[in-house]
Amino acid sequence: MKNILVLHTGGTIAMEEEQGFVKQQNDNPLLRFKLPSNEVHLIVENVFHLPSPHMTPKEMLQLQQLIDTRNGIDGVVITHGTDTLEETAYFLDLTVQANIPVVVTGAMRSSNELGSDGLYNFLTAVKVASSEEAKGKGVLVVLNDEIHCATNVTKTHTSNVATFQSPQYGPIGLVTKRGVVFHQAILHRDNYRIHNITKQVLLLKAYAGMDSTMLEIIEQLPVDGLVIEAFGQGNLPPSTVPIIKRLLNKGVSIVLVSRCFNGIAQDVYSYEGGGKQLKEMGVIFTNGLSGQKARIKLLVALEVAATPQELEQMFQH
């Protein structure tokens, strides 16, 4: 029999609708749920009772520590609000050391709504967490019968139950009536041992006509790292360049991703604010991560990297 640790953290999966509004409940409906089969033993803990916009890296670290200090478990299921689910999943993917399946799930419809997806998603998440094939694939996100890897998955729709997608690669597996099927290998995973989160990392998105206002404000703050979602292949407006230079000189680590969710950011353009200039100044280019995930990685990387070169290396795959 498999022992699956279930960590409930809150979110719509643990909420109810009342008079057109979705609200928190005192008792999580999933706590009353009994598995249809006795091949799996659930060890259930109500860790938090948070809507996921209230989730912070502090709670994410607490989840990592709960998983890594627990003995005798074969897999983990985390129930979570969907708004920031991808950030928690990616944080755990980067930091959990235990070599067991860790699956994050949630719901788009609350527990008393018609077509509620919570119980179903929970059940499929348990199936994946207890499957042998899920081992060694890092943290997985399971909703709507699809299995996604934490690095690529993102919430793409505000309310549709098929909201979780991996725009660059698609799902890596499916849950069917016959079982759990993986059809794609995981290409690469980063994993780091951390004990704390102590750094301040901000996220800024580029827009047409962006001037230096936001960067000037950031310059006044105690900031260790900044992720910028830049244009296209990795370009910014010229007005941002002098302050980016100053921030880099002050020792702020700046990571650039593209605000396009497909393709590669690189030093192609040589005009003022173009990728060539930014890269030469010391901005770290990275690929395959959204702004919010690059921010999670920079938070973790700043705890681990001993030198700026090491930090840059950590973003090179």
Ligand X SMILES: NC(=O)C[C@H](N)C(=O)O
Binding site for ligand X (CB under 6 A): 11-12, 51-52, 81-83, 106, 108
Place of tokens 């991703």: 257
Minimum CB distance to ligand X smaller for 84 or for 131: 84
d(CA 292, CA 202): 9
Minimum CB distance to ligand X smaller for 52 or for 166: 52
Catalytic residue among 9, 12, 84, 95: 12
Least gap, CB of 104 to ligand X (angstroms): 12
Say if CB 273 and CB 266 are below 8 A apart. Answer: no
24-31, long-range: CB within 8 Å, 24+ apart, which pairs? 24/49, 24/51, 25/111, 29/111, 29/118, 29/119, 30/6, 30/79, 30/111, 30/118, 30/119, 30/122
Least gap, CB of 109 to ligand X (angstroms): 8
In the three-class reduction of DSSP (H, G, I as helix; E, B as strand; rest coil), residue 313 is classed as helix
Minimum CB distance to ligand X smaller for 81 or for 234: 81
Sign of CA dihedral 255, 266, 212, 307: positive
Active site residue 163: no
d(CA 300, CA 309): 16
Catalytic residue among 9, 56, 69, 82: 82
Least gap, CB of 160 to ligand X (angstroms): 11
Minimum CB distance to ligand X smaller for 165 or for 277: 165
Sign of CA dihedral 88, 91, 95, 97: positive
Position 111: which residue type?
A: S
Q: Using CB atoms, what's the residue nearest to ligand X?
A: 81
Least gap, CB of 82 to ligand X (angstroms): 4
Start-to-end C-alpha separation, the chain:
38
Least gap, CB of 106 to ligand X (angstroms): 5
The three-point CA angle 109-110-113 to 5° equals: 80
Minimum CB distance to ligand X smaller for 110 or for 235: 110
Active site residues: 12, 82
